[in-house]
Amino acid sequence: MSRSRRAASGFVSGYLLVAVTLGVQFVMVPLATSALGKAEVGLSQLTQKLAYLFTLLDMGLLPSVSRLLVDHKADPRGAAYGRTLSAGVVATGLICGLTALVTVLGAVPVVDWMRVKPELRDEAIFLFLATGLTIAVSGMFRIPIAMLYAWQRQDLVNYAQAFGQVVNLGVFWVALDAGHGVRSGWYGQGALSLVIGVTTLGALVAVGRMGDLRRVRWPGMGPVRSVFGFGMDLFWISLGTQLALNTQGFILGRVQGLEAAGVWEVATKPFQALSQLVWKVLDASAPGLSEIVVQGNRLKLAQRFRQIVGLTTVFAGVAGVGLTLLSQMLVTHWAGEKYRWGSGNDLALGLWLFLISIYRCHCTLPILQKSIAGMRWVYLAEGIGSVGLSIWLGQQYGATALLWVALGTATVTSGIYGLMRSRETFRVGLGGLLGWSAVSGWIALAGVGLWWVFRWIHLEIWWVEFGLKALLTGVVCGGIGLRFGLDRGLKEELAARLPGRVGGWMRRVLG
């Protein structure tokens, strides 16, 4: 399978995963909000968010091992490939032990810091311990996942995760119906981790790479330090990212109570879902970009990267308009009026999603080039600044302050830094870089027009109205973006991959 076909397979399977995850969340959230109180919903959602924060403890090993294996995959039977894989296994084992230790020592202090109500304190401690230990035990499955990423078979990882999400929903539903309450979410997450682990090992067998694990030996501390060295750079970036993206619910839980945290976690579900849709463009392309970097083809790298930024701009622009115009309608009918917040918050969500999606492209390229330099401290500054300002302003101004703080800190840190790095790499002026995303202005203008039109569309069945408005948003904004935001090479490539009449229709749309 060629690199482009593998990238396309990763792209399609990634969107299948997102579709399945969206479907699962669409069912799980109303089940939870109808069976649990706002404080319990907040605790349940924060527990799931805690799983993301626990991934920080892998110290960047998953992307580190994956990227380093790419350097040596041309000779998979060679000593360098075996040493890198062995070092990844040893380092991952150490991190799993660290995760378990942090979980046991940190459960009570974290719950106390969040000022959890006495009646939920025992449940909070249990969920903290259960979530952390689950992450620790399942951590060794990161190595098979890293291997599949290195061999550009992220499509198989996506299929495994999609199947796991279905199992997650089933276990959660049964546990909630059986009266397990707020613990039901953890039961589902535990089943998800188990399914992903088992199916990922099966995928490794299917691609003929399971035998690589039989070559794992003690590599010596040199290779382990090398894996940790690159991984630690990624760790600081991951730490800053997680602090900037996934701490707002915890902060609101401390300064305004778990009820406020529950509103935040439910109201931002569309943001979380759409961000996965948008970011799959880059995620599916990253292994291919890594190979281009290894080959040293700067001209091809510049062309492909510009295409990725353009396509990300289109997806992010459409998603940002959709969040601004439709998020509140979905949340209030889906989860209930008690989870409503101001329309200004949805505007901030839309802008935040659009901007960080573009910044993410420009900041990912140096990682693929293994030229992180000062970026780790930029991301750390973004995370610390976002958390500090959110704690300061959150008690008085609530969720609104947290949204604008996140947007502002991202812009003045990773946003500016990423653009400067791309300017240096491609020797393109700042105006030229911004021009890659210029179509976003036309998409935003179309969004304003849709806002005026939507004021006159009111149907008795809310989901029919929502579906109609979502379709109009996708057709109008997406059509503008695809026609005017992509270069001709990418248009031809996209059209060529679609069969028969569909490809002809797409050629007419793309111009």
- Angle 2-157-47 (CA atoms, 0-180°, nearest 5)? 150
The confidence score (pLDDT) of residue 347 equals: 94
Euclidean distance between CA atoms 145 and 153, whole angstroms: 9
Q: CB of 405 within 8 A of CB of 392?
A: no
List CB contacts of 417: < 8 A, sequence separation 6 or more.
363, 374, 375, 378
What is this structure's pTM? 0.74
Token digits for 316? 């992010």
The confidence score (pLDDT) of residue 400 equals: 92
List CB contacts of 304: < 8 A, sequence separation 6 or more.
285, 288, 289, 292
DSSP classification of residue 411:
I
Number of H helices, E strands in the chain: 21, 0
The confidence score (pLDDT) of residue 229 equals: 65
Task: Map residue 329 onto helix, strand or coil.
Answer: helix
The confidence score (pLDDT) of residue 64 equals: 67
Tens-digit pLDDT string for the chain (511 aa):
455 566 566 667 777 887 888 788 788 878 887 777 777 777 777 776 666 566 555 555 666 677 777 777 777 787 777 787 887 778 778 778 877 887 788 778 877 877 777 888 888 888 888 888 888 887 778 888 878 877 777 788 888 888 888 998 999 899 888 888 888 888 888 888 888 888 888 888 888 888 778 777 787 777 777 766 666 666 778 778 878 888 888 888 888 887 888 888 888 888 988 888 888 888 877 777 877 887 878 888 888 899 999 999 999 999 999 999 999 888 888 877 888 888 889 999 999 999 999 999 998 888 888 787 788 899 889 999 999 999 999 888 888 999 999 999 999 999 999 999 999 888 888 888 888 999 999 999 999 999 999 989 988 888 899 999 999 999 999 989 988 888 877 777 766 666 666 556 666 666 6
367 CB neighbour count, 10 Å cutoff: 20
DSSP classification of residue 413:
I
DSSP secondary structure, 41-68, as one string: HHHHHHHHHHHHHHGGGGTTHHHHHHHH
Max intra-chain CA distance, the chain: 69
The confidence score (pLDDT) of residue 489 equals: 76
Euclidean distance between CA atoms 510 and 491, whole angstroms: 6
Residue 322 has, within 13 A of its CA and on its CB side, a CA count of: 30
